[in-house]
Amino acid sequence: MAGNRAVAYMGPGKVEVMDIGYPDLVLRDGPGVNPLNVGRKCDHGVILKVVTTNICGSDQHMVRGRTTAPAGLVLGHEITGEVIEVGRDVEFIKKGDLVSVPFNIACGRCRSCKERNTHICENVNPDRPGSAYGYVDMGGWVGGQSEYVMVPYADFQLLKFPDKDQAMEKIKDLTMLSDIFPTGYHGAVSAGVKPGSTVYIAGAGPVGLAAAHSAQLLGAAVVIVGDLNGERLAQARSFGCETVNLREHSDLGEQIDQILGIPEVDCAVDCVGFEASAHGANAIEAPATVLNSIMQVTRAGGRLGIPGLYVTGDPGGIDEDAKIGTLRVRLGLGWAKAHTFVTGQTPVMQYHRDLMKAILSGKAQIAKAVNATVISLDEAPMGYEEFDKGVARKYVIDPHGLVK
């Protein structure tokens, strides 16, 4: 039997590449596995040989020690792979298929799944609706920053690429379908972006860049990206975005006014989440900053897409409220302006097929937008370290050296 190496969280600031067991079609006990999920049979699942798996900002929250993730948790929820084994109950997915795996784990049978809300599946996480691979408090499904991984509910979840050779030619784009591209797109759709919209994107990390590219695909007239990191803002400008540097100029409305002639936008997207910083040269962490600032600059009646991650447990929170996800949000401002808020995980399956077609047709250039950079499995710790420093790259791990 083949071995299996994977990237694991070992404590704040530390990840290691380690040997783990080769997967089978049962969810075994291990770090972070919910006791009620131990021994769960997955004859409806498949084993994948991982072709690409990406480092995500959500992983980085765990690696920084900002969640309750246990040491030894295998990371990785952005997975693309080749099917090498199918369970006895799998009917339509075949060995040899090249597939994208939605980061949401969804059964296809519960009320939420039947209503296309696969991000809040009711049957995969005993603690609460919603689950993901390799993530804290999400049921304990083993992550995919590895050589091989088990994926349950294969017939329902997996997106098969129609032509393997064509897919491998565009694999750096297609690997973004498991999370980052649908997440950015969902943020833009949730914000109501349409032809002619003016849009503010908070955060120029990979999800923010994906949201900005998505806003362009949806026909936005002007996309403004804000961040404190000059290198990431330069990446946003590389594909046609306007930018505001909130470290150099703390007044967001004033900077938007200089671009648009008015200090407000039609809609906004929060791609930062709970580790937000206040604005200015010497600003400290202030987790409600982005939520409050996007309410300030979005016009009355506008919509706010909030794919940025907010958690219920943050050991590194700045105060006791922040440690349980209670933030000083100016809800009265949002109420007064009749804003619509859309939060939560992204229901990847609502978007990934259409976005796949946009990539294969050449309409979407997501790898270029996020500066996709391929590394080996052994280079993953370096990737985490560089990503934590704010490098303007989206790291794509290639465990088997299959990417040209």
Residue 386 CA, distance from chain mean position = 18
Please name the fold of domain 181-343: Rossmann fold (3.40.50)
Residue 110 CA, distance from chain mean position = 24
Task: Please name the amino acid found at residue 400.
Answer: H
Please give the pLDDT value at position 104: 96
What are the DSSP E strand ranges found in 171-263? 198-202, 222-227, 242-245
- What is the CATH number that goes with domain 5-179+347-397? 3.90.180.10
Please give the pLDDT value at position 33: 95
Please give the pLDDT value at position 239: 98
Please give the pLDDT value at position 172: 98
181-343 has the same fold as 5-179+347-397: no
Q: List per-residue pLDDT tens for the chain, 404 residues long.
A: 578 999 999 999 999 999 999 999 999 999 999 999 999 999 999 999 999 999 999 999 999 999 999 999 999 999 999 999 999 999 999 999 999 999 999 999 999 999 999 999 999 999 999 999 999 999 999 999 999 999 999 999 999 999 999 999 999 999 999 999 999 999 999 999 999 999 999 999 999 999 999 999 999 999 999 999 999 999 999 999 999 999 999 999 999 999 999 999 999 999 999 999 999 888 889 999 999 999 999 999 999 999 999 998 899 999 999 999 999 999 999 999 999 999 999 999 999 999 999 999 999 999 999 999 999 999 999 999 999 999 999 999 999 999 98
Phi/psi of residue 290, each to 5°?
A: -65, -45
Helix (H, G, I), strand (E, B) or coil at 53: strand
Burial zone of 241 (CB within 10 Å; 0-12 exposed, 13-18 middle, 19+ buried): buried
Please give the pLDDT value at position 213: 98
Q: Give the C-alpha separation, 212 to 204, whole Å.
A: 9
Q: Give the C-alpha separation, 358 to 29, whole Å.
A: 40
Domain ranges of the chain: 5-179+347-397, 181-343
Q: Give the C-alpha separation, 107 to 118, whole Å.
A: 8
Residue 400 CA, distance from chain mean position = 23
CA angle 270-244-261, nearest 5°? 100
Task: Please name the amino acid found at residue 184.
Answer: G
What's the DSSP call for residue 285?
B
Task: Please name the amino acid found at residue 292.
Answer: N
The per-residue pLDDT for range 247-260, each reduced to its tens digit, is 999 999 999 999 99
CB atoms closer than 10 angstroms to residue 284: 8
Structure tokens at 28: 């075994």
Token pair 């929170």 is found at 317
Burial zone of 91 (CB within 10 Å; 0-12 exposed, 13-18 middle, 19+ buried): exposed
Q: Give the C-alpha separation, 89 to 45, whole Å.
A: 8
Helix (H) or strand (E) holding 37: none
Residue 69 CA, distance from chain mean position = 17
**Strand duo 198-202 + 5-11: pairing:** unpaired
Q: Give the C-alpha separation, 24 to 47, whole Å.
A: 7
Structure tokens at 27: 């969810």
Structure tokens at 10: 């070992």
Residue 360 CA, distance from chain mean position = 21
Phi/psi of residue 186, each to 5°?
A: -60, -40
Please give the pLDDT value at position 254: 97
Please give the pLDDT value at position 344: 94
The per-residue pLDDT for range 58-90, each reduced to its tens digit, is 999 999 999 999 999 999 999 999 999 999 999
Residue 326: strand pairing partners: none
